[in-house]
């Protein structure tokens, strides 16, 4: 099997990573693609009461099961299927669901800390960082958590001040230096997306 193309997309919470991924897929005309969300690899917290789960730091690298992610990505790169966990953002723990993922020629992994772990980072062919100003990211995150994740405004603000913002400064923002391309998501980024698409086509052509 030809080695798949592996793309990592990082950036702060609510920076627009998923939107950029969809733009790249549409422009490149890619269909044989796996999209993995790093968030699904948060550690299982079923042993904790829900109130305790709200207090956990989800923006620290230790909150993620990177050992399992590395194992799964290595398996997919080697042509082996995986059973991926699925995270429940309402209950703040892994759900009972498992997603069976079969290997494909393009693997995209997105997550706030996907460029932080050196062992995992070395698996990627293209590393992208999506950047957006802090105020806009906070507003987007607040609306998402209110509407989709059952959070209260008080909880959202408290979490942002105590963990989200300081962890962004300490762990997430510094990973920009590992990116091949930094995309500013508060302005037009057609040229950046076009350059990424060209590189994707080049790598896939060389491997075909």
To which H or E segment does residue 35 belong? strand 33-37
- Helices 17-28, 190-207: axis angle to 10 degrees equals 60
User: Beta-carbon neighbour count of residue 145 at 10 Å?
Assistant: 20
User: Alpha helices, DSSP H only, in the chain?
Assistant: 17-28, 50-54, 66-77, 118-121, 134-148, 153-159, 165-167, 190-207
- C-alpha count within 13 angstroms, C-beta hemisphere, residue 146: 9
The sign of the CA dihedral 163, 116, 144, 83 is negative
Give, for all 208 residues of the chain, the pLDDT tens digit: 689 999 999 999 999 999 999 999 999 998 899 999 999 999 999 999 998 998 899 999 999 999 999 999 999 999 999 999 999 999 999 999 999 999 999 999 999 999 999 999 999 999 999 999 999 999 999 999 999 888 899 989 999 999 999 999 999 999 999 999 999 887 778 889 999 999 999 999 998 7
Q: What domains appear along the chain, each with residue ranges and CATH number? A: 5-202 (3.40.50.300)
Kindly compute the dihedral angle of the four CA atoms of residues 164, 168, 169, 172, in this order, to the nearest 10 degrees.
Answer: 160
Pairing mode, strands 82-88 and 93-101: antiparallel
């Amino acid at each position: 099997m030809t080695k798949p193309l592996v793309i990592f997309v990082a950036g702060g919470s609510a920076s627009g990573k998923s939107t950029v991924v969809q733009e790249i897929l549409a422009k490149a005309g890619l269909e044989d693609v796996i999209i993995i969300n790093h968030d699904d690899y948060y550690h299982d917290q079923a042993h904790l009461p829900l109130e305790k789960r709200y207090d956990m730091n989800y923006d620290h690298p230790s909150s993620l099961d990177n050992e399992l992610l590395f194992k799964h990505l290595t398996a997919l790169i080697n042509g082996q299927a995986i059973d991926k966990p699925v995270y429940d953002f309402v209950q703040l723990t892994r759900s009972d669901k498992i997603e069976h993922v079969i290997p494909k020629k393009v693997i995209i992994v997105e997550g706030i800390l996907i460029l932080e772990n050196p062992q995992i980072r070395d698996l990627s062919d293209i590393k992208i960082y999506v950047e957006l100003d802090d105020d806009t990211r906070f507003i987007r995150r607040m609306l998402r958590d209110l509407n989709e994740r059952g959070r209260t405004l008080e909880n959202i603000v408290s979490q942002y001040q105590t963990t989200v913002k300081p962890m962004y400064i300490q762990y997430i923002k510094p990973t920009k230096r590992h990116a091949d391309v930094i995309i500013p998501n508060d302005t037009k980024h057609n040229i950046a997306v076009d350059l990424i698409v060209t590189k994707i086509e080049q790598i896939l052509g060389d491997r075909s």
